[in-house]
Homo-oligomer: A and B are copies of this chain.
């Protein structure tokens, strides 16, 4: 079975995440190790449709594992959502002699590749690369560790000012559907409260927490808000607090895209390295339509349907800890 695959195409798609380059490097070097050829498809599905493909070897991925972003670039492709677009992509892949695909990205990327696999049967494996850590089937996604550290560094800076002025800060971090970055940067940043999409904190509960902190003379008050907050974004929450009391001197910072970039942490590089090798080895073992993941520090492969039907739930223990420590 193994010898049927000889040319593997790798690409990145969706939002970029730190560690994607480490994953690309691992895929390419694992190909070299197993005497397979690797090709890089530029700009995700867009480059697949346009035939924008480059040759990659062990040397061409030198000195990239420490860089943020993706050297293969990424793009959103409307055309790939059409049957005609996917047909074009398939024709290009055949022309290049690519007989298996590895995609690095998030759920949008996976959905596209799943459809493509169903239509054309090209062996395919996905690597979870997204800062949100919002995918079932893996304990961690590539980029999440770095993004959370970036958020915490920013919170540390903001705390300097909060402490110096006895201010209340609302800090918005990424996570449209997932509170992973928020809850963990909140614990690590010593937040008084964390607002995440998964948990039904009401504004009154938030208010109570802030009031209590005031009473017990808490030195700084930071509230970390996930993008996907159900009770209003950071600006909206700040406004509501202001309306209820003039006690607090309030500021808002939205960290935004700065959480996506930067040199990946060791954790993301090592995770990406394991997953990149795991993806190649999975293909060579005949796996397809799966996502490679890491559970309890071991490589696992989960079927696309299994992953997409579940959500990556927030650890209830973390929520509990966050509350105890914000005393």
Contacts and interface: CB of A to CB of B under 8 A. Distances in A.
A321 to B, nearest CB: 6
Interface stretch (A183-191, A198-206, A300-308): A183-191
Nearest to A145: B267
Given A67-B160, A157-B261, A324 B253 contact: no
A97 interface: no
Nearest to A154: B258
A156 B321 contact: no
Contact of A16 (B59, B164, B184, B185): B164
Nearest to A67: B160
Given A69-B160, A188-B266, A270-B318, A169 B257 contact: yes
Q: Count the copies.
A: 4
Given A152-B269, A257-B169, A269-B152, A262 B157 contact: yes
Given A158-B257, A266-B184, A269-B188, A164 B62 contact: no
B166 A73 contact: yes
Interface residues of A, number: 87
Given A266-B185, A297-B315, A327-B58, A63 B159 contact: yes
Interface string A242-260: 0000000001111111111
Contacts of A190: 62-63, 65-66
Given A25-B325, A188-B266, A188-B269, A261 B161 contact: yes
Nearest to A32: B327
